[in-house]
Chains A and B, each alone.
Chain A
Amino acid sequence: MLPSFFKATVRQRLALWASMLGVLACVFGAAEFIGSVKLSGFARAIATHAGAVAALSETDAAYSRIVVALVSDGDRSSLAGDVDAISVAMKAVIARSDDEIRARAVAAAQGLQELSSKLGADNTAAREALRRVATQRNELRVLLNAAVAGVSESLGAHVESSRQNTMLLASLSLFLAALIIWFEHRWLVRPISTMATALRVPGEDAGWVRKLARRGDEIGMLGRALHVHLSEERTRQEAAKERLALLAGEVERQQALRVRGQAFQGNIASIATALETHATSMTDASNELSQLSGFVDQHAGAAAQSSQRAANHVDQMSTSLNEIAELLATTAGEAQRTSEIANAAKTLVGAATDDSALLREAVGSISAVVTLISTVANQTNLLALNATIEAARAGESGRGFAVVAAEVKQLANRTAEATEQVRQGLDSIGTAAERITGRIGALVASVDAVETSADSIAELARRQDDTSRSINIGTAQAADDVRGMAEQVERVAGMIEDWRKMTDRMTQASADIDHQAAALRQAVDSFMTDTQAAQRT
């Protein structure tokens, strides 16, 4: 719907807003002008009507004098002046008024002229003319009051209408201004701030800038320029970043080469140093070896003689060991015999143990017999007591029996004493038999200990014999080894002579290595110096 020339540029938009607000302002101004014109009209009308009313009011005194004079038949000589004054006032009303008021005022003026002409006539005619004048005067007053009321009413309606118009126009203007400000902020301020952000932080709000660049107004021109600028800036940044990356790579490569070269130089220097050190060490070692070989050769002969002597000493030690073995065999035989004796003693002790058991049994049998005898003695004693009692009961006839019973009782008592003594002797025998049994047990333990010791001695003697035999064999082997060692020492002496010759050759080779290491160090140093000089250039 928009015309083709309208591209909604900022200038055209401003012209549009100016025209819209201008139309509103013109309408508002015209309404205010009309209102002021109308207000002045209302003021004039009110002033006119108020002046007419005032003019009429000023003639009220004259009118009253005329009425009093005519009604009370008073003096009429001064009434002509009053009528003339009222006529002048009426003419003033005629001059100020128009339409109906003017016509009514003209009629009132004519009535006044009629009243003036009839002042000299009779009272009836004069009073009739006065009545007409009074009627016309009252009607004129009513008309004037109605006119004032009408003007006031119109003025109120105009003020109300003007107030409504002013309020609506002001509201519309404010709404329009707010609308313009909001949309212009959307179209103008926000894009500018967006572009400022894009300029400040490249890459941010790029989509907004592309969108702005499609617009057809000044913001679109600015957006396109900014887009081009940002694109070029991005291209420059990318190119600079690529160059920076290349330079960084080159620097890194040069650095790596320098580090590797320095490491290589250091390695070569350390190798050369090591070669020189080793060559020196080899030379020293060769010299020392040469000296040592002579010394060793000298001592090898002494070692061979010492080995021979050691072999003789070993043979003598072997002979001594054989003698020790024979002694140990004798000890073993003695221990064996001791063991046999102990076994015999153990057999004897066993027999003694059996005998002591038989003795305890015999003592027990005797004790049983003694107990039996004691029991018989007790019963005999009881029988003697009964016989004594029976003898006493029999009296004189039983006196002899009482003597016999007393004898029997004594016999029984003696038997009891004898059995008690036998029992004590048997207890002593039993105690002695118990002691014998205990001592036999101790003897058995001692015999067992002797047997065990004899067995241990025999075992130790056998082991010692075996050990001495092993030592003897080892000693013989040691003697053979010592002899072999003497032969080896002699061979080593020959090898040391060959070694000394070889150390002479090593000394020459180490000197040659020393020269070669120095030459290598010099060559690498000169190469690294040339390379670094070439890199700096």
Chain B
Amino acid sequence: MTTWLRFSAAMARRRRVGEHDFPLLAKVLHWSTAALVLTMFCVGVLMKQIGSGACADALMTFHKTAGFLLLILVAARITYRILARLIGRWARGAGDRAVHRVLYVLLVAIPLLGLAGVSDFGAREIYGGISLPEIWPKGAGHADLLFLGHAILAFALVGLVAVHICLALDDYIQHPAQPAAAKKAAAAKPSSILQPDMP
């Protein structure tokens, strides 16, 4: 069993090493999610700090709209990933760590907590006159608690994003991708030293 796990981990690492080139759509979805998360984190902190007023309301509206978009984006990513894996365009093991799973869970849970909070608070309107669906009883009195959980999980998400960045860099540094010429050279002479491009 242990041998099989080591073998599968080595194979996954080899696949990751050889497959740093993700599909363009996956890259767009990934970096869009990253930008949205960063923006919403900053807006959320400032919004909370401002507290009330027109500026806070505007930021709140933007935050709700962006959060709703993020929820849709994450759902699209998960769907795309499942479909891509089913059709074989997504290698098993590429970004398959436990960190990613927790990230996906948080990316779904945090917007839902925020939506529950605004449902309880009674401010579900976003840009374009759209009203978000009510997933929590209005005036239930748990808005503060829901917002506090939303904020704490958001900070945990940012910390996890930092861990995700570090792990990705670690993977990139410890197991650099081999160019095609280097792969041939390595196949011809396994002990030769690879010479990756340097800035």
Is B2's beta carbon under 8 Å from chain A?
no
The answer to whether B170 and A186 touch across the interface, beta carbons within 8 angstroms, is yes
Measured CA separation A16–B172 after assembly (Å): 15
Q: Which of A175-198 contact B (CB under 8 A)?
A: 175-176, 179-180, 183, 186-187
Tell which of B20, B51, B174 touches A154, judged by Cβ atoms closer than 8 Å.
Answer: B51
The answer to whether B158 and A30 touch across the interface, beta carbons within 8 angstroms, is no
The answer to whether A31 and B49 touch across the interface, beta carbons within 8 angstroms, is yes
The answer to whether B199 and A172 touch across the interface, beta carbons within 8 angstroms, is no
The answer to whether B166 and A210 touch across the interface, beta carbons within 8 angstroms, is no
Measured CA separation A200–B7 after assembly (Å): 35
Chain A CB count within 10 A is highest, among B20, B31, B195, for B195
The answer to whether A172 and B169 touch across the interface, beta carbons within 8 angstroms, is no
Is B69's beta carbon under 8 Å from chain A?
no
Tell which of B45, B52, B148 touches A169, judged by Cβ atoms closer than 8 Å.
Answer: B45
The answer to whether A165 and B173 touch across the interface, beta carbons within 8 angstroms, is no
A residues near B191, Cβ cutoff 8 Å: 210
The answer to whether B155 and A172 touch across the interface, beta carbons within 8 angstroms, is yes
Tell which of B20, B46, B166 touches A27, judged by Cβ atoms closer than 8 Å.
Answer: B46
Is B18's beta carbon under 8 Å from chain A?
no
A residues near B194, Cβ cutoff 8 Å: 213-214
Chain B CB count within 10 A is highest, among A179, A213, A216, for A216
Is B196's beta carbon under 8 Å from chain A?
yes
Q: Which of A16-61 contact B (CB under 8 A)?
A: 16, 20, 23, 26-27, 30-31, 34-35, 38
The answer to whether B193 and A210 touch across the interface, beta carbons within 8 angstroms, is yes
How many of B's residues come within 8 Å of A, CB to CB? Answer: 42
Binds B, one of A114-122, A156-164, A367-375, A496-504: A156-164
A residues near B173, Cβ cutoff 8 Å: 8, 187, 215-217
The answer to whether B169 and A23 touch across the interface, beta carbons within 8 angstroms, is no
- Shortest B185–chain A CB gap in Å is 12
Chain B CB count within 10 A is highest, among A9, A161, A168, for A168
Is B101's beta carbon under 8 Å from chain A?
no
The answer to whether A7 and B27 touch across the interface, beta carbons within 8 angstroms, is no
The answer to whether A220 and B168 touch across the interface, beta carbons within 8 angstroms, is no
Is A1's beta carbon under 8 Å from chain B?
yes
The answer to whether A216 and B196 touch across the interface, beta carbons within 8 angstroms, is yes
Is A534's beta carbon under 8 Å from chain B?
no
The answer to whether B176 and A214 touch across the interface, beta carbons within 8 angstroms, is yes
Measured CA separation A323–B22 after assembly (Å): 147
User: What residue of chain B has the Cβ atom nearest to residue A30's Cβ?
Assistant: B46
Measured CA separation A7–B170 after assembly (Å): 12
Tell which of B45, B158, B195, B199 touches A9, judged by Cβ atoms closer than 8 Å.
Answer: B199
The answer to whether B172 and A2 touch across the interface, beta carbons within 8 angstroms, is yes
Query: Once A and B bind, how many residue pairs between them come within 8 Å at the CB atom?
Result: 110
Is B163's beta carbon under 8 Å from chain A?
yes
The answer to whether A164 and B162 touch across the interface, beta carbons within 8 angstroms, is no
Tell which of A9, A11, A183 touches B166, judged by Cβ atoms closer than 8 Å.
Answer: A183
Is A224's beta carbon under 8 Å from chain B?
yes
The answer to whether B151 and A179 touch across the interface, beta carbons within 8 angstroms, is no
The answer to whether B45 and A179 touch across the interface, beta carbons within 8 angstroms, is no
Q: Which of B107-155 contact A (CB under 8 A)?
A: 148, 151-152, 155
Q: Which of B164-191 contact A (CB under 8 A)?
A: 165-166, 168-170, 172-174, 176, 191
Is A171's beta carbon under 8 Å from chain B?
yes
The answer to whether A215 and B162 touch across the interface, beta carbons within 8 angstroms, is no
Is A68's beta carbon under 8 Å from chain B?
no
Contact indicator per residue, chain B 37-57, by CB within 8 Å of chain A (1) or not (0): 010011001101111100000
The answer to whether A161 and B49 touch across the interface, beta carbons within 8 angstroms, is yes
User: What residue of chain B has the Cβ atom nearest to residue A41's Cβ?
Assistant: B53
- Shortest B47–chain A CB gap in Å is 10
Tell which of A27, A216, A224 touches B193, judged by Cβ atoms closer than 8 Å.
Answer: A224
Measured CA separation A478–B161 after assembly (Å): 134
Could you give 12 example pairs across A and B, Cβ below 8 Å? Answer: A2-B172, A26-B42, A27-B45, A31-B49, A34-B46, A38-B49, A161-B48, A164-B151, A172-B155, A214-B193, A215-B176, A216-B196
Known: A7-B197, A168-B152. 13 other contacts (CB 8 A): A1-B26, A1-B27, A8-B169, A23-B42, A31-B49, A154-B51, A158-B51, A164-B148, A165-B45, A175-B159, A183-B170, A215-B174, A216-B196
Give me the interface of B with A, judged by CB distance under 8 Å.
20, 22, 26-27, 30-31, 38, 41-42, 45-46, 48-52, 95, 148, 151-152, 155, 158-159, 162-163, 165-166, 168-170, 172-174, 176, 191, 193-199
Give me the interface of A with B, judged by CB distance under 8 Å.
1-2, 7-9, 11-13, 16, 20, 23, 26-27, 30-31, 34-35, 38, 154, 157-158, 161-162, 164-165, 168-169, 171-172, 175-176, 179-180, 183, 186-187, 210-211, 213-217, 220-221, 224, 227
